[in-house]
Amino acid sequence: MQRAGGRTPQSFDRVLSSMCTEPHPAARRAAERFLATNPGDPASYPAVADLEAEAIGYLGEITGLDDPTGYVASGGTEANIQAVRAARNLAEGSAGSDGVNVVASESAHFSLRKAAGLLDVELRLVPTEDGRADLAAVEAAVDERTALVVGIAGTTEYGRVDPIPELAGIARSVGARTHVDAAWGGFLLPFTDHDWDFSDADIDSMTIDPHKVGRAAIPAGGFLVRDRETLDALAVETPYLESASQASLTGTRSGAGVASTVAACEALWPDGYRETYERARADAEWLAGELSRRGFPVVDPELPVVAADISEELFEALRGAGWRISRTGRGELRVVCMPHVTRAILERFLVDLDRYR
């Protein structure tokens, strides 16, 4: 194992609550080869710029977007910030800059709070119904100052999918834009019958993270837009670069994320990702059944995240035994069935759970 300052990275054997995973071997190799390239300066680094177009092509295919536009961001946080920024900039153009708002449900990822704080827009978080945005509450929250409605396709806590077409309809009714946050769910949802992508609804922008279920190396987030106009609303002039403008939030960016996204998609789209999804779903259902059989209240898994109500003492004992687990906002144990979480690992987890309960 490689060493840095005498340290070795953790193994993934006991990591149960992370949305990151072991990169695909081809993605790891590609990341290393393109480590010293900068897609933020495409005129100096044309090879990685070409690869980025390929990456966006794959992400477009996965999300039902013909003629896709976008870029490989540092992660879901940057992509969500950019969605809010584009919506705010475009609303400023038409309605004046004061007091635009963004509407999402309480299950929105905390990156939206960062976006709202940075960009000085009001974030209106509405209640959920069984973990999904309550449409009546969304309808009541939007107004003529709403710049963006955000739907979540795979919530971080429970893996729930918001009713995206209905949210897009509400957004349109007040002249707002629609963003879908599929940072985690984007590589799982193509194999389900959910309506979540650009072909299902009139979505303007989307977040989909290759460095989560996509098995690219960190940092690789995806920011996709339906129309060029959205990227133009983000672009600033770049006087000392040969390219005329830059739409990304960061300047220098890692070519590792771009190259490993292409390598992972070449290796896994679509069959490998389908197998990943099917195995994860089967494991999530199995784990939910085992926990429920032991008397723990379980939140029914939709996408493969299992949330179960266990005692504080049991949670701490499992953490003490080395399991990397975390809790939902309501305090439930949360297990994310990522590609590295095998049935054998879950079986070992249950052995420890039975030992301490």
Residues that bind ligand PLP (CB under 6 A): 19, 75-77, 80, 109, 111, 152, 156, 181, 183-184, 209, 221
Q: Among positive and negative, which fits the CA dihedral 122, 127, 130, 132? A: negative
**Shortest distance in whole angstroms from residue 292 CB to ligand PLP:** 25
How many Cβ atoms are within 10 Å of 237's Cβ, its own excluded?
8
Whether residue 98 contacts residue 243, with contact meaning beta carbons closer than 8 Å, is answered with no
Nearest residue to ligand PLP, by Cβ distance, number only:
76
| Minimum CB–partner distance for residue 144 and ligand PLP (Å) | 27
Using the minimum distance from each CB to ligand PLP, give the nearer residue, 60 or 210.
210
Nearest to 157 by CA among 317, 308, 321: 308
User: How far is it, in rounded angstroms, from Cα 11 to Cα 31?
Assistant: 19
- Residue 39 or 75 having the CB closest to ligand PLP: 75
156 versus 254: smaller Cβ distance to ligand PLP: 156
86 vs 353, which CB is nearer to ligand PLP?
86
Which is nearer to ligand PLP, 31 or 183 (by Cβ)? 183
Nearest to 248 by CA among 57, 8, 85, 357: 85
Q: Give least dist CB 222 to ligand PLP, A.
A: 10
Q: Residue 279: which H helix or E strand, with range? A: helix 271-293
Burial pattern 187-225, b for ≥16 Cβ within 10 A else e, equals: bbbbebebbbbbebbebbbbbbbbbbbbbbbbbbbbbbb
List of residues 6+ apart from 168 with CB closer than 8 A: 149, 151, 178, 201, 202, 203
Taking the complex as a whole, how short is the minimal distance between the CB of residue 252 and ligand PLP, in angstroms? Answer: 18
Least distance (Å) between residue 288 CB and ligand PLP: 20
CB of residue 209 to ligand PLP, shortest distance in Å: 5
- Cα distances (Å, whole numbers) of residue 245 to 36, 158, 185, 241: 22, 39, 31, 8
CB of 112 to ligand PLP, least distance (A): 8
**What letter would DSSP give residue 202?**
-
Q: Which CB atom, from 138 or from 183, has the smaller least distance to ligand PLP?
A: 183
> Can you read off the two tokens belonging to residue 61?
């295919």
By C-beta, is 245 or 252 nearer to ligand PLP? Answer: 252
Burial code (b: 16+ CB inside 10 Å, e: under 16) for 44-58 equals: ebeebbebbeebbeb
